[in-house]
Structures are given as structure tokens and as C-alpha cells.
Amino acid sequence: MTHKVSPVPGPRKKSFPALPSAKGPREKLLAHGVRSLTDVELLAVLLRTGRRGTTVGTMAEMLLAGSDGLSGLLQIDHRELLEIPGIGPGKLSLLLAALELARRCAEQPLTRRDVMSTPRKTRAFLQHHLGTRQREVFSCLFLDAQHRLQRCEDLFFGTLDGAAVYPREVVVRALRYRSCALIVAHNHPSGVAKPSAADRHITDRLKEALALVDVRLLDHVIVGQGESYSFAEAGLL
């Protein structure tokens, strides 16, 4: 009497859920990657839902159109955003969190290495930090002995010809943080990164004041729209 030998079952193949078809922005993101999304679609993913009578895509389009693009939207005061129909604390929190994540991603490399050895990343950070501001902002990057970023602070606001930049305030903070060097930066809302006579005067005053407490001014960067000007690279420091 012969016996049938049953075949030994092979290893089971793992089954994975199929990716969703690209119908909406979230499905498109999963199917084709985040870089495949437009600004409107990225914003729609963050907003998640629309409001009665308005789809989330239409709401995203309206927000971008009313703020002159994505960068403009992220610079709007949060109180103004809350006045927009359909934007509540939940949606506002997601938008602000996304902006802060982007800012920290740009800043992180500067905290881990010599800022002056990575000028491209320093400029990228300053472009992100100041490039879309609607008014002039004067910022300071406080650096330790290895020229790693300790902190970035916005110290003065308004037109620098009218609203004075006080070297004393910069020196006080540099001493408070025990900084060894500084990079200062400000933006030109006009978009043109060209130094004015006032910019040159402020740079000289800051350099002299910081030298009195043995702190080096490494650079003064002027940020325009997609461009920047370095006093150090121009041989003016």
C-alpha cells in the first residue's frame, strides 16, 4: 500500500496593502511622494478638511491667493488667520507647527558645525528666516568658540534708517550668552540685497562695540528675495 506524500508548503509571501489611487492630495502623496504635490495640495493636506460649501482644495487656493503665495501665508499674523472662515485653532496649530519644523530643520546644521565653514547653509537659514518678512528685521546669530550657533534672535524692527540699531543691546546679549562671535543679518523687503550707507555705518559701529568686549563680528548678511549680500565676502569686515 502506497501513501501519498503531501507537498511541503513553502514560505508564505508577505502581502502588503495596495497604495491608494491618486484621487486626493493625501492619496497622491502616498502614491507618488510628497514632492509630487503642488503648494495648494500640500496646504490641503495640512488643513485636512474644508468647510460647509467649500472643499479643502478651494480653501487652500483661497488662502494662497489672499496671502501672495505659501511664504506669504506663513508670515501672516496668527490672529489674521483665525479671522478667515474655516480656520480654527486646530488648523492654525498645524500651519504654525509646519513652519516651525521647517525653521528648525534649516537651523539644525548650524548648531552642529562651524557656521563659517558652511556659508551656504547659513545663507539658506537666513533666507528662510528673513526672506519673506514684510518689514525690516535685524537678527543676530550668537556663536560659541567653535562658531556653532547658540541662538538666533530678532532684535530690531522697522526701517533701519529710522528705527536705530543699538550696538549696546547686541553687546549685552553677547555677554549674557557668553558668545565668542556674531553674525548679524537683516532683510530688505524691496527684495534687492544691496547695502546702503546706513547698512555700512551700522556694521562699523557694531564691529567696534563688539571688539571692546573681545567678540568678533564675522559677517553682516543682507537678505533679499532669493539673493543675499555678505559684507565678509565683499571684504568689508
Name the pLDDT band for 10 (thresholds 50, 70, 90). low
Count of domains observed in the chain: 2
Q: Is residue 155 part of a domain?
A: yes
Q: Select from 48, 74, 103 the last residue of a domain.
A: 103
Do 178 and 210 lie in one domain? The reply is yes
Do 128 and 223 lie in one domain? The reply is yes
DSSP for 32-99, written as a single string: H-GGGS-HHHHHHHHH---BTTB-HHHHHHHHHHHTTSHHHHHHS-HHHHHTSTT--HHHHHHHHHHH
Task: Report the chain's mean pLDDT, rounded to a whole number.
Answer: 82
Name the phi and psi angles at 36, rounded to 5.
-80, -10
Q: Select from 56, 71, 103 the last residue of a domain.
A: 103
Q: Select from 103, 128, 159 the last residue of a domain.
A: 103
**Which structural domain, as residue segments, surrounds residue 141?**
114-230
Spatial contact of 207 and 171, defined as CB atoms under 8 Å apart: no
pLDDT number for residue 159: 65
Do 132 and 59 lie in one domain? The reply is no
Do 98 and 147 lie in one domain? The reply is no
| The pLDDT of residue 39 is above 90 | no
CATH of the domain at 216: 3.40.140.10
- Identify the top-confidence range among 91-100, 131-140, 209-218: 209-218
Q: Hey, which bits of 68-201 come out as E strands?
A: 137-143, 149-157, 181-187
The CA–CA distances, whole Å, from 92 to 61, 84, 87, 97, 179 equal 16, 10, 6, 8, 35
- Gap between the Cα atoms of 217 and 75, Å rounded: 29
Q: Is residue 10 part of a domain?
A: no
| The pLDDT of residue 58 is above 50 | yes
Global pTM exceeds 0.75: no
124-135 residue pLDDT tens: 888 888 887 878
- Gap between the Cα atoms of 171 and 157, Å rounded: 18
Name the pLDDT band for 23 (thresholds 50, 70, 90). confident
| The pLDDT of residue 66 is above 80 | no
C-alpha cell at 80: 489674521
Q: What percent of the chain has pLDDT over 90?
A: 30
